[in-house]
A and B are shown apart, each in its own frame.
Chain A
Amino acid sequence: MLRFIVRRLLLLVPILLGLSILVFGWIRLLPGSPAQALLGERATPQLIAQIRHQYKLDQPLYDQYWGYLQTVGHLDFGVSISSRRTVTYEFAHRFPATVELALSAMFLAVIVGIPLGFLAAKRYGSLFDHLSLVGSLIGISIPIFFLGLVLKWIFAVKLGWLPSIGREDVLSNAKHPTNFYILDAIITGNGGALWDSIKHLLLPAIALGSIPLAVVARITRAAVLDVQNEDYVRTARAKGLPPMIVDSRHVLRNALLPVSTIIGLQTGLLLSGAVLTETVFAWPGIGTWLKDAIFNRDYPVLQGGILFVAIVFVLVNLVVDIWYAIINPRIRVS
């Protein structure tokens, strides 16, 4: 297992190298310059030339790339052109917000999606099954941006139950040693801050979790339908095992194998930044950060940010593979 993990981690090197070439080239193919993005109508040809020179954009591409690799080699990801803060600082500052949102969304997707899929399969062909299918279809097809606005309009604007923006009440004085607000509230023993953070998480997590929820429910349903007709399930029933034992130990456990893979992949996707959800809920995560960087032609942020995200994505996938091996004894990593 250890050898497998090390090998997978080593694979990160060529992946990141390839990715860095792609991102580097892609950004430079985009028209326009950071100067125009920074100063808008106030940009002048002289200023554009000056910025190009300052960021060495007037040098041959291979020279620029080599210079970039050297700085990254020293773990220096540069300074954001628009905010003038280091890319590492901004990522470290924003990533916890994205992690908190992504994990909450996945939590909702799992605790609702798996039971929903399981029950739909158990009641195959019933009205409940059809309704869950229609619900899943809606969950997958409804635009997150729209869902977010509607949720806010109902629960924040009309009912006034939940806040519409941010991670905590704007008047909160809670301390944030780790920037994971829920964790911070637990560490500092601040019950009020804990509830405040959960309140702020609810709507964005529901909006962001809608697609994974639908996917998890559909996959669970399909997997349970497959598994419950297997010989070993029939044998278990024939042995006279109680239905609860059959369902939990034989059906659900085996059905969860493909589901866990999907959960891992979806989590990786969510961790790479939920641009729309973060924008609608003014959630200070990496999704809006990278989106703004594209509009601002903020090369250092794009180059550094995408590399960070790629590392996270690969690591999450590695965890999924390991987890898969653990929960499925039939699979052994070779």
Chain B
Amino acid sequence: MRVRKSLLVVPFVLVATGLLLATGAGAGSQANTTLVFGTAADPVVLDGPLVSDGESLRPIDQIFEGLVSLKPGTTKLVPSLALSWKASKNGLAWTFALRNGVKFQDGTTFNAAAVCFNFNRWYNFPGPLQSDAVSYYWNTVFGGFAHPAAGNPGPDKSLYKGCKANGTGKVTISLTRRSSSFIGALALTNFGIASPTALKKYQADAGTVDSNGVFHPTGTFGTQHPIGTGPYMLKSWSVGDKLVLVANPHYWGKKPKIGTIIFKPISDNAARLQALQTGEIQGYDLVDPADIGTVKSSSKTKILNRPAFNVGYVGINQKFKPFDNPLVRQALAYALDRNSVVKGFYAGRGQVANQFLPPLVNGFATKGVPSYSYNPAKAKQLLQQAGVSLPLAVDFWYPTNVSRPYMPNPQQNAEAFGASLNNSGFKVTFHSAPWRPDYLAAVQGGKAELYLLGWTGDFGDPANFLNVHFGQQSDMFGFNNPALFNLLQKADSETNLETRTALYQKASILVMTYLPMVPYVHSQPALAFQRNVNGYIPSPVSLEPFSIVHFGT
């Protein structure tokens, strides 16, 4: 009998002792000078030009600064390390007057030579770093390298031509062709200026290439010693556990109000919400729309809205006949009940899109945009006019296992659109696939006839929306429209802001006339915070300075 008693007692004593000791453990008690922010994943590396994912860019944005920045919460360009800038008359040279008295976090001086060192570093990236998967934004904005590896674009494709230091306080960037999106793109976190001394000392570009051609980084700049001029600097980074930033005591600008920022990777959405509720984290991004009500209803937590800087659309691949006929595309636009979808599935956080550009972006057309209100009779009439026998069978694709700001629940959107299409002379067959890479492979590979997709802007420039999608031929849209391509090229190279805006407005209207897709929503993503966190200003492009965040009123 004694054996039985002791056996009974052991587990309960252990569990009870654990729980008793755990009582009052105070999970989540934080010093007021530390803010813990829950992230969806670890950063890849803390070196701006070598990343394109939001989880890397968030801490990088606190450590590094670029020549220009964005006014918090807007897409308006403001001075950062450059106090002012001016383009030459031919638009091929941009001169920046630099801020004086700025030091890098390693104590070295920021000056014109440092700016040129960084631009030349990016332009001279070795072969393995030239891949789009690594230096995506240099490729996208500047498009070429000084010494291209086989298959990569060279100087003939490059927008960047050279950099010249005029003394220590002025720098001139030369371009090979006129481009206005250049200056807006410089606000990207990817083009933050790093300490040349640290880049060399910690061998930012060093690495070996294995037998598979894969680059193995060997330097420690991006993992242990990222040195910029920003308000925070790296203290430690334990992969999978946490990344700790501390305030830069020698920061040239206004001193940060919170001494330590910790980025804690929590991949699961529900786990992030619970960590916020327990107080283990003070904020997180990418709130699941289903959790917004829970966060709002608590007296301890709140929701912040990121301005709508995205577009959700029904893509059309014109390779599939009869969608090469503009009448059929118009019929499709009239057949989609966009209003019901946005009102029904976006919890008041979406607005019906009447064009591809969100209202915040320069070039958004305020008049003259063709309107396509839901009208089944008109859709049928247009289909008949196009000589199509009704109903027109179409394949409609939507992704599974994904929630994007512009489509929180793709299946709901697809089903609602399917119903309105079936009422309007179409006969829908649904196809679904897991978001990545299966669904994206099908859509981007030109296998989907009609599909749900969207885009969130990288920076506040219409080229990042219109030129990226409709500036050249692509498999996913399957059309060739030289007039549209030329107009977008012309708009991008225009340096006069007013003329440029007018050109983009014209392009935006042309897109809605030509209808390579039907935009339906611009939505506001949500962030969640403890109520005592203030000063966090959500940015349309997710560039949020933690240096102005504080606790209490």
Which residues of A are in contact with B by a Cβ distance under 8 Å? Answer: 31-48, 50-51, 53-56, 67, 70-71, 76, 78-79, 81-86, 90, 93-94, 97, 111-112, 114-116, 118-119, 122, 149, 152-153, 155-157, 160-171, 176, 195, 198-199, 202, 243-244, 247-248, 279-282, 284, 288, 292, 295, 297, 300
Contact = CB atoms under 8 A, between A and B. Distances in A.
- The secondary-structure label for the interface of chain A is helix
B280 interface: yes
B30 A33 contact: no
Contacts of B215: 79, 84
B347 interface: no
Interface string B1-21: 111100110110011001101
Interface string B248-280: 000000000000001011111011001101101
Given A51-B133, A111-B10, A162 B216 contact: no
B267 A44 contact: no
26 contacts: A35-B133, A39-B132, A41-B455, A50-B131, A55-B213, A56-B212, A71-B212, A78-B212, A79-B215, A83-B42, A94-B240, A115-B11, A156-B278, A162-B25, A162-B27, A163-B25, A163-B27, A165-B264, A170-B242, A170-B280, A171-B34, A199-B25, A244-B1, A279-B271, A280-B268, A297-B437
Contacts of A53: 151
A300 B132 CA distance: 19
**Highest count of chain B CB atoms <10 Å: which of A67, A164, A281, A295:** A164
Given A48-B444, A282-B275, A54 B216 contact: no
A38 B213 CA distance: 18
Contacts of B238: 176
A161 B23 contact: yes
Nearest to B211: A71
The 8 closest A-B pairs by CB, nearest first: A32-B437, A284-B240, A36-B437, A115-B7, A163-B27, A282-B266, A112-B11, A47-B132
A118 B551 CA distance: 55
A115 B453 CA distance: 56
Interface string B409-422: 00000000000000
Contacts of B136: 39, 42
A40 B445 CA distance: 13
Given A164-B27, A165-B266, A45 B445 contact: yes
Contacts of B438: 31-32
Contacts of A36: 436-437, 440-441, 444
Contacts of A67: 211-212
A156 B239 contact: no
A41 B274 contact: no
Contacts of A155: 19, 22
Given A163-B278, A171-B30, A45 B133 contact: no
A75 B267 CA distance: 30
Interface residues of B, number: 74
B210 A78 contact: yes
Given A36-B444, A115-B8, A164-B275, A84 B211 contact: no
B267 A50 contact: no
B18 A119 contact: no
Given A53-B151, A83-B44, A31 B132 contact: no
A76 B278 contact: no
Interface in B122-172: 131-133, 136, 151
B454 interface: yes
Contact of B133 (A38, A122, A284): A38
Contacts of A55: 212-214
Contacts of A51: 131, 133
Contacts of B513: none
Nearest to A51: B133
B453 A41 contact: yes
**Highest count of chain A CB atoms <10 Å: which of B10, B268, B438, B475:** B268
A280 B271 contact: yes
A51 B23 CA distance: 52
Interface string B56-79: 000000000000000000000000
A228 to B, nearest CB: 13
B291 interface: no
Nearest to B140: A42
Contact of A156 (B15, B212, B217, B274): B274
B335 interface: no
Nearest to B41: A292
A69 to B, nearest CB: 11
A179 to B, nearest CB: 9
A198 B20 CA distance: 13
Given A84-B217, A170-B262, A40 B436 contact: yes
Nearest to B456: A41
**Highest count of chain B CB atoms <10 Å: which of A45, A84, A161:** A84
A289 to B, nearest CB: 8
Nearest to A159: B23
A243 B214 contact: no
B28 A163 contact: yes
A37 B52 CA distance: 12
A329 to B, nearest CB: 23
Contacts of A48: 441, 444
B139 to A, nearest CB: 9
Contacts of B30: 171
A243 B1 contact: yes
**Highest count of chain A CB atoms <10 Å: which of B212, B266, B455:** B212
A32 B441 contact: yes
A49 B270 CA distance: 36
Contact of A163 (B2, B268, B280): B280
A172 B18 CA distance: 20
Contacts of B34: 171
Contacts of B527: none
A124 B118 CA distance: 77
Contacts of B507: none
Nearest to A76: B210
A187 B449 CA distance: 62
A116 B278 CA distance: 33
A76 B209 CA distance: 12
A31 to B, nearest CB: 5
B271 A160 contact: no
Contact of A161 (B19, B41, B217, B444): B19
Nearest to A83: B44
Contacts of A54: 131, 133, 213-214
A43 B216 contact: no
Contacts of B15: 112
A140 to B, nearest CB: 18
A178 B242 CA distance: 17
A122 B4 contact: yes
A21 to B, nearest CB: 18
B483 interface: no
A119 B441 contact: no
Given A67-B212, A71-B211, A122-B4, A281 B271 contact: yes
B42 A165 contact: no
Contact of B278 (A42, A70, A160, A199): A160
